Homo-oligomer: A and B are copies of this chain.
Amino acid sequence: MTGDGRSAHKTDERLHESAVQLFALRGYSGTTTRQIAAAAGVTVGSIYNHVASKQDLLFDVMRRTHQEALARLDAALIRARDPVSALRAAVRSHALFHAEQGALVAVTYQEMGALDPRHRKAIIALRDQYGQKFKDIVRRGIKDGLFHVDEPELAVLAILSMGIQIYTWFRPGGRDSASKVADTYGAFALSLVGYAGDAPARPRRSGAPLARGRHG
């Protein structure tokens, strides 16, 4: 039978996805190799034809998560020509990723302590690379006189933090869509850095029929 879903590559992917789901649910130490194998539809021994160790599986999940987040951030920033639209686009990308990829994000943030020191160093480097792009935007916004914030480094940390935590409460089908959350967080970030031209109080952007900000 050709195309029976049993090729080596497909098993690789199923192992990866099974590991993500289980690590997110039970944690790295709380997940057994047998559970991962069962979820991927193979037996224990077969895992080791595809990954060197459980530890390597964790590292691979984290590495790919960061690379994906970086790729999306870069894509979002391509069209931004000024710090305001750049920050809005960056925060939107950040928030969307953390809302839509909850399992990947949960593993990445909760299992840092389960990584070997060697692997951890590599992941931290990727994380810094990600944060640096936000710092650059805020720094430029200040230089251009658009943003007014006393502690830009803390502001960037705060902006990243509020986005990261989305994965802990966001559920698809909840009150707000991921896109709505992402837009709102973009506005929050601009308020945070003291950008005055985007005050949230006044109804902006044509399609806002529900004047829900200030009923009397």
Chain A residues engaging chain B, CB cutoff 8 angstroms: 25-30, 79-80, 82, 84-85, 88-89, 109-111, 113-114, 142, 145-146, 148-151, 153-155, 157-166, 168-169, 175-176, 181, 184-185, 187-188, 191-192, 194, 196-208, 210-216
Complex: how many Å from CA A216 to CA B114? 41
Is the beta-carbon distance between B155 and A188 smaller than 8 angstroms? yes
Contact A113 B212 (CB under 8 A): no
Q: Known interface pairs A82-B210, A162-B158, A192-B191. Does A30 touch B113 (Cβ–Cβ under 8 Å)?
A: yes
Further contacts, 18 of them, CB under 8 A, given A148-B214, A161-B163, A194-B200: A26-B29, A26-B114, A27-B114, A79-B216, A88-B214, A89-B214, A145-B214, A148-B200, A148-B202, A148-B213, A150-B184, A150-B200, A151-B176, A160-B165, A162-B162, A196-B204, A197-B208, A198-B208
How distant is A77 from chain B, measured CB to nearest CB, in Å?
11
Cβ-defined contact, B194 with A192, below 8 A: no
Query: By the criterion CB–CB under 8 Å, are B205 and A196 in contact?
Result: yes
A150 adjacent to B213 (CB under 8 Å): yes
Q: Can you name 30 A-B pairs with beta carbons within 8 Å?
A: A26-B29, A30-B114, A84-B210, A88-B214, A142-B214, A145-B214, A148-B202, A149-B200, A149-B201, A149-B213, A150-B187, A150-B201, A150-B213, A151-B176, A151-B184, A154-B181, A159-B162, A161-B161, A161-B162, A161-B164, A162-B162, A188-B192, A191-B191, A196-B202, A196-B203, A196-B204, A196-B205, A196-B206, A197-B212, A198-B212
